[in-house]
Each structure stands twice: as C-alpha cells, then as structure tokens.
Chain A
Amino acid sequence: MRLLLVIFSLLMASPSTEVDLDMDEYLYGHVRDSYEWHITTINGKPVSIPLPVIVISKAGGGAHIFSSHHLEEGEYKGFSIATSGKYANKIVEKGSDGAQIRPWDFSITKNVLGLMINSAILVLIILLTARWYRKHDAAEEAPAGGTGIMEMMVTMVEDDIIKDCVGEDYKRYSPYLLTAFFFIFINNLMGIVPFFPGGANITGNIAVTLVLALFTFFTVNILGNKHYWKDILWPDVPTWLKVPIPLMPVIEIIGMFTKPFSLMVRLFANILAGHFMILGVIAVIFLTAKMGAAVNGGLTVVAVVLGVFMDCLELLVAFIQAYVFTMLSAVFIGLSRPKAETD
C-alpha cells in the first residue's frame, strides 16, 4: 500500500506539475464558503457544481436569481465576485460612486447546500429510526442494526448529557439538545469526508456556530425561571457589590453573553483547526514536489500516515465537539432553572 503511494507520488512529481502552490489560497479556498462546489481540477480545468445565486441589489437593481457559472467570466448583471478588499470572494455590485457594495446575498452557497444535504440525511435517519418505533411495540422488542445504533446514541445523549445536566424537567429540552447534538455531529462528520457531498466546512463556519449558539442563548434566557433572573440581577453577594455600582449584576449579564459566545467559538475553532491541520499535512506532498523524487516520496509516506492519523483524530473531535456543545448547552439550561434556595 505504501509502496503504491510512493510510486504514485513519484508520478505526481513529474516536471509538468511544477507550479508554485499558493498556500493561502489552498488553505482558505478549502475552508471558506463559495458560490460553486469545486470538486476537482482536470487538466487545469476546474470541475465544479454551479450553485444558484440569489441577490437583492442595494443599488436599486432588484432581485436576481442566476447560476453561479455566469460569474466565472467576471461581471454578470452588474454583480461580480470581489477579488480583493473588504469583500474578497463575495458577490459585490458597483454603487453610484463606483465603490463596491455588498448586496443582500441569499445565495445557495456551498455551505448552504451542504447544510441542506446533511440536514436531509439527518432527518431521514432520525425519521426512519422513529418509524421503527411507530411500527413496533418498543416495550416488547428492542431494535437491531441501524435503529439499534441510533437508539444507543439517542439514549446515550439523553441519559448521560440531558438528564444529568438539565435536571428535573429535562423532557422539555431533550428534543432541542438531541437535535443540536446530531446536527453538529453529522455536519462534523460530513466535513471530514473529502469529496461531494461532504467536504463543506460547515461547523467550521462562524455563521453556523453563531446560529447554534443563539438557539442555546434564547432557550436559556426565554425559558429561564425567576430564580435565574434573580441570580443575575440581584445575586447573593454582599450588598456593596451590588449598590451603588452594580458590579456583580454587570458581571452576570456579561456572563449571559460569554456563555453562548464560548460555545460559538469553541465549535468553530476546533473544526476549522482540524480542517487546517489535515490540509496542511496533505500540502506537504505538493510543497515538496520540486525537491526531487526521494524527498517527495519519503515525505508523502509521512504525510499519508499523518493524514490517516489526523482523520482519525478528527473523527474523535467530531464526536467530542458535538458532545461538548450539547453538554454545555444542557448545563447552561440547567443553570437557568435553579430551584429556590432552601434556607
């Protein structure tokens, strides 16, 4: 197997591929959102799936829906993809003064399509699992196979995370937390798969983790009981910490926002870092292509071994991050429902 890889890498090192690798473009191009789904490049020609662009002009050009392949050549209906500046790699239009303006951009980008595909897979899996319970008397028999695995995972999340962290009325929160867990988990997993329909860096995108964190934030603060609000606005500390300068309430209110913020950044940074690491390891193969067959071959073996290791690590991280996000959400929810102090 390794020998094959070495031979393969030797073939790759032929003079015709001697082009400088743009490391920044390589790394960011793989992790950022885009208007088309790049699959591969054959003979210098990119093979990609064009995706629908949905934009509403801010300069009065109206709403437009068109395929993203029109943007490959440059401007289309006044819209183009910025190559540099504040809006690099985003669709921009020209304002009346010639400056770049970002229109309302609701395009089905790579991440949006990835989200749709992954969500469809998730919904399918869960509904198929639920269908088994609808057709069978679960009190009489236990599921086997895929349903059994799903039951095991659902039970694990419910028993280990939700029941323990939320406390008494966990049933009310269990659907949200389970959805969050499986949503993050499947998107993490699909992010590791290197080809279509995987490979979109979804949970490593800050917009996605921001929405997830906001869901937790609103769940915590809308459903929090009056003791929770009392602990924030009038905590049990010496009075001079609350009046005249409301030191503790201010800290508590900042805490309200730092909790979901930490959720957002943790998931985003972990997944993004994982993608960067794998990309970096694989980049070694291409960076050493000019150094001759021996060096390139040796380092390719190292890179592949490391890549396998990193992928295994990422599988672990995919699970751990879903677990951690769900657990911390459950903990925050649990904290938002304290019981009256019994004294």
Chain B
Amino acid sequence: MSLITPDFGLLVWMTLIFGIVFFVLAKWGFPMITDSVQKRADRINESIAKAREAEERLRNLSSEQEALIEKARKEQAAILKEAAASRDAIIEQAKVQARDEAAKITEQAMTRIAAEKESALRDVRTEVAMLSVAVAEKVLRKDLDSDPGRDELLGRLVDEISSSEELNS
C-alpha cells in the first residue's frame, strides 16, 4: 500500500526543503533568539546577584552601626561605673580622713581638758588650802583668845588637814 511506502520524489524534496529550512533557521534564526534570551537571563541573574550583594552590604552597614552604638553604650556604662567608683573612693577617703582628724582633735581636746582639769584642781586645792589656813587662822585667833577647849580643837583640825593631804597625794 502506498501509505507506508515512502515515495522517492517526496523524500528528495523533503530532504531538500528541510535541509534549507534547517540551514536558514540555524544560521539566522534560532541562535539569534536563544542567545539573546540567554543574554537577558544572564543579565537578570547578574542584577539579582548585585542586588543581593548591595542588600548584604546595607545589612552589614546597619549591623556595623548597631555594633558601634553598642560599643559606645558599653563605654559610657564603663565610664559611669568608673566615675561612681572613684566618687565612692573619694568619699570613703574623705570620711576616713575626717574620722582621723576628728579623732586627733578629740584626743587633743581630751589632753587639754585633762591638763585644764589638773590645773583647775591644783588651783582649787591651793585656794582651799589658803582658805583653810585663813579659816584656821581666824578660828585659832578667836578660840585661842576665848575658848577653854582650844587645845582639843586644834589637835582635831591638824589631824583632818593631814588626813586630807594624804588623800590628795
């Protein structure tokens, strides 16, 4: 049957026509199209890569910024901390100094008070002694003039004075 037997003439024509079509399209048709599309695809890929790079850089920039701020904040905190510490130290030092000073002043005052007291006591003692002597003189003078029991009184006075003298020494 002729349907399944290839006709020679048609074979020749088909080979010729397909050959020409193939030649023309392979030379001026398809490579032009596929290359252009490829070029565009390359360009798009390139652009995407570039955009990604830029984005990356931008992200790095902001993270860098953040790091910088973070660092500044840390430094600030450190400085504040240091300042607080030195302030505390100064106050502490001042306190210690003040305490020492106060102690010294107190000690000095104590010494002086003691000395004053000593001298005051000494004065009082002298005064009392003088007064006693004066009183004794007066009493002696009067009693010696009038009192019959003057010898007894004189003896008792002498005893008292001597005993108080002993107490003070």
Q: Please give me the residue from chain A that is nearest to B18 by CB atom.
A: A211
CB within 8 Å of B: which A164-214 residues:
171, 174-176, 178-179, 182-183, 205-208, 210-212
**Cβ distance B40 to chain A, nearest Cβ, rounded Å:** 5
Q: Bound state CA distance, A134 and B6, in angstroms?
A: 40
Q: Is the CB of B10 within 8 A of A111?
A: yes
- Chain B: residues with Cβ within 8 Å of the partner, total of 35
Q: Which stretch, A9-17, A118-126, A231-239, A241-249, touches the partner chain B?
A: A118-126
Q: Is the CB of B18 within 8 A of A215?
A: yes
* Cβ-based interface call for B163 (8 A): no
Residue of B4, B12, B15, B30 touching A178 (CB-CB under 8 A): B30
* Cβ-based interface call for B158 (8 A): no
Complex interface bits, A328-339 against B, C-beta within 8 A gives 1, otherwise 0: 000000000000
Residue of B3, B22, B30 touching A154 (CB-CB under 8 A): B30
* Cβ-based interface call for B78 (8 A): no
Q: Bound state CA distance, A182 and B93, in angstroms?
A: 98
Please, which residues of chain A bring their CB within 8 A of the CB of B12? Answer: 106
Chain B interface main SS type: helix
Please, which residues of chain B bring their CB within 8 A of the CB of A28? Answer: 3
* Cβ-based interface call for B162 (8 A): no
Q: Bound state CA distance, A105 and B29, in angstroms?
A: 32
Complex interface bits, A48-73 against B, C-beta within 8 A gives 1, otherwise 0: 00000010000000000000000000
Q: A115-B14, A179-B26 are in contact. Are A207 and B36 (CB under 8 A)?
A: no
**Cβ distance A195 to chain B, nearest Cβ, rounded Å:** 22
Q: Please give me the residue from chain B that is nearest to A142 by CB atom.
A: B40
Q: Bound state CA distance, A116 and B14, in angstroms?
A: 9
CB within 8 Å of A: which B1-48 residues:
2-15, 17-18, 20-22, 24-26, 28-34, 36-37, 39-40, 42-43
Please, which residues of chain B bring their CB within 8 A of the CB of A31? Answer: 3
Q: Is the CB of B26 within 8 A of A175?
A: yes
Chain A interface main SS type: helix
Q: A109-B10, A175-B26, A205-B10 are in contact. Are A154 and B34 (CB under 8 A)?
A: yes
Q: Bound state CA distance, A95 and B16, in angstroms?
A: 30
Q: Is the CB of B3 within 8 A of A89?
A: no
Q: A32-B3, A33-B10 are in contact. Are A150 and B33 (CB under 8 A)?
A: yes
Please, which residues of chain A bring their CB within 8 A of the CB of B14? Answer: 112, 115, 207-208, 211
Q: Bound state CA distance, A122 and B21, in angstroms?
A: 8
Please, which residues of chain A bring their CB within 8 A of the CB of B18? Answer: 119, 179, 183, 211-212, 215
Complex interface bits, A101-116 against B, C-beta within 8 A gives 1, otherwise 0: 0001111110110011
Q: Bound state CA distance, A112 and B11, in angstroms?
A: 10
**Cβ distance B21 to chain A, nearest Cβ, rounded Å:** 5
Q: Bound state CA distance, A106 and B15, in angstroms?
A: 12
Complex interface bits, B93-134 against A, C-beta within 8 A gives 1, otherwise 0: 000000000000000000000000000000000000000000
CB-defined A-B contacts under 8 Å, sample of 15: A104-B8, A105-B9, A106-B13, A115-B13, A115-B14, A116-B17, A130-B30, A139-B42, A142-B40, A154-B30, A175-B26, A175-B30, A183-B18, A206-B5, A210-B6
- Nearest first, the 8 A-B pairs at minimum CB distance are A138-B36, A175-B26, A207-B6, A126-B29, A133-B36, A130-B32, A207-B10, A139-B43
Known: A123-B29, A154-B37. 18 other contacts (CB 8 A): A33-B10, A105-B9, A106-B13, A109-B10, A119-B17, A123-B21, A127-B24, A133-B32, A133-B33, A154-B30, A174-B30, A175-B30, A179-B25, A183-B18, A207-B14, A211-B11, A211-B15, A215-B22
